[in-house]
Every structure is written in structure tokens, then in C-alpha cells.
Amino acid sequence: MTLPSGRIAELARAAGFDLVGFAKAEPIPAAVLGEWVEAGYHADLDWMRSSVAERLDVGRLVPGAKTVVALGCNCWPGEAESPIARYARGRDYHATLRDRLRALRRSMRQEFPGIADYGSVDSNPVMEKVWAARAGLGYVGKNGLLITPEFGSYVMLAAFIIDAEVDVHADGPQADRCLKCTLCLSSCPTSAFPRERVVDANKCLSYQTIENEGPMPEGLRGATQDIVFGCDVCQSVCPLNASPVLAGPRFAPRAVAGLSVRELAALSREDYQRLVPGTPLARAGFDGLRRNAAYALGAAKDLGARELLTRLASDESEVVREAAAWALGRLD
């Protein structure tokens, strides 16, 4: 059975997706992921290594897979400054895109009964960025992110794998518009790009402020000024992001995005429970956010935060104590 791509695109947009494309479910060359993992650029994200086979072949997830429907949502929350990365200022994008995937699945099963499917948003063993490029939604820029003509790199991605053919497939990634520009590479505060389109998670502040639960390497801490959760530098400097489009209400900033670095460092458990659940910041946890904020205060040499840092240096959390002590040393 060959399904009409136009109708699937209509259903996807009705479910809330801004971008839709189609790619044949052919295996991804091993080198695309294997070389990155073997170089150790995945840091301690061991689940990347343990699920390489599934990531390279979606046929392991959907036997007889024929098509990957690549999906994207604009996530630009607005211009306001915040020490929180833009994608993380509103509702957790995993929840938003999963809601939309469920709506798409319901309508697909109703209209095309009998198909097998598998939906993925970031945390599953699917390389959504590769499929988005193959499906013609954009191309992978020098900063390692998918860059689209409609929304630049401010997009969140999903994939919907089905065991049916569609009548149209993309010819592959769109043309590379980075050309000779290397602003993203030269602007990275920790030199996390060993080469174009390759990110070393060990040096990336997004990894360090979100995934790393222990102390941040000392050589990276001085680069965290105004950065508490995630890092937007390589996107902020990109000329292809010069005209962002405001996203819908699901990506609107929540109150936590309006807090300063000092306010995040001073966050109480009560305020954490009131402000953070349901947002991506929950990934870092109460202690992780305060640890990051202490590093940021030290990186900024914020003398006005001395009393707060002194208090945090006696915190019950070891990682918070260590970060506060380092920050106090920077003030001296």
C-alpha cells in the first residue's frame, strides 16, 4: 500500500507540527554515529553507545519499516534575556511533541488502518536530526544543528516511522547555506567543536549544565557567565537565525525563565517545586540548577553574590558546596 504524502502532511499539521517531510527508511551509515561515539564525544551518555544498532536502522523498531515521517516544531520563545536556553523556557518540549505525535498516530490509524508505527521525540533510539535532513526539512549546519529556511535552527524534532510506502520522498538535505561562515565555531565559549558539524559533549555547556550530575571540569567553569541551563551561543550568533518566528503558546516562557542567575542560585525547594516541574529544567534537578547558578556567579565575578555564595558553601548538597566554594575563590 502506498500512502498519499500530501494527506499525511495535512494530518501532521493538524496535529500541530510546523514542518513535515518524508524519507525512505534506509539504514544510516555506521560512520555517522560510530566515529563520534568511538572518539568519546558522547561523554558519559552511555545509552548512545548501547543503542547504536537501533539508531542506525529503524527497521529494528518497526519490522518492515518503509518510511520515516520527519516532523518539526518552531520553538522560538521571544527575545527576552535569560540564563536558560530558549528551548527550555516553556513547557517541556518532549511533552508537547509527544502530545502531537499521539494526535497524529490516532488520525493515521483511523485513516490508514493496519499500518505499524513508532513515534520518537529525542529520548528514543532514533536519530531525528538525520531523518529531518534526509526528508528535506533543512540541513545540518556547522554548529551540528538542523537549520531550516522557515525557522533557522530554533526547531524541535520528532520522527514517525511507518511500515508503508508514501508517494513522495525528499531528495535529501537542503543546500548548505553556511557557506564560509564560521561564527558558531569561533564563538563557542569552550571550543566544543573539534571540527565542523561535530560537537564534543565533554566540552559543551549544554551537556555540562544538563546531563553532568557531578562537578563541572574547572577549565569550563569560567565560560558559564549568564549560563545556567543549556547554551544558545552557537545559535545566537548564526546569521540564519536573524529573523526568528515567534512560536505558539506551548513554547511560551514560564515564570522560571524570568529569574536571574542570583535568583536561581537562591532557589528554595518550595519555589523549585512551584516553578520547575513540567519544564526541561527538571532534568538538572534542584541541586543541579543551583550548582550551575553558583558557577555562573563565579564566572561573572559577581561581588554582590558573596553572601549568597557563602551560604551555599554550607549547603547540604556536595555539588552545590563545591561550586559555591569555587565561585567564592573567583571573587577573591
Cell numbers found for residue 304: 554582590
Residue located via cell numbers 537549520: 147
* Residue 18 among the catalytic residues: no
Query: How far are the Cα atoms of 280, 289, 306 from residue 331, in angstroms, in the given order?
Result: 30, 20, 8
In this structure, are residues 162 and 116 in contact, taking their beta carbons and an 8 Å threshold? yes
What would the grid cell of residue 109 be?
490509524
Total count of residues recorded for the chain:
332
Nearest to 261 by CA among 231, 217, 226, 304: 226
Instruction: Report d(CA 330, CA 332) in Å as an integer.
Output: 5
Q: How does DSSP classify residue 42?
A: T
Q: Supply the DSSP string of 72-122, one letter for each residue.
A: EEE----S---SB-GGGSSS-HHHHHHHHHHHHHHHHHHHSTT--EEEE-S
Q: Which residues of 277-307 are buried (b: 16+ CB within 10 A; e: fewer)?
A: eebbbebbebbbbbbbbbbbbbbbebeebee
User: Catalytic residue among 122, 163, 171, 176, which?
Assistant: 122
Angle separating helix axes 285-299 and 318-331, nearest 10 degrees: 10
Residue 101 to residue 188: CA distance in whole angstroms: 33
DSSP string, 192-249: --SBTTB--TTT-HHHHHHT--SPPPHHHHTT-TT-SBS--HHHHT-GGGSS-----G
Q: How far is 77 from 251, CA to CA, in rounded Å?
A: 6
Annotated catalytic residues are: 122
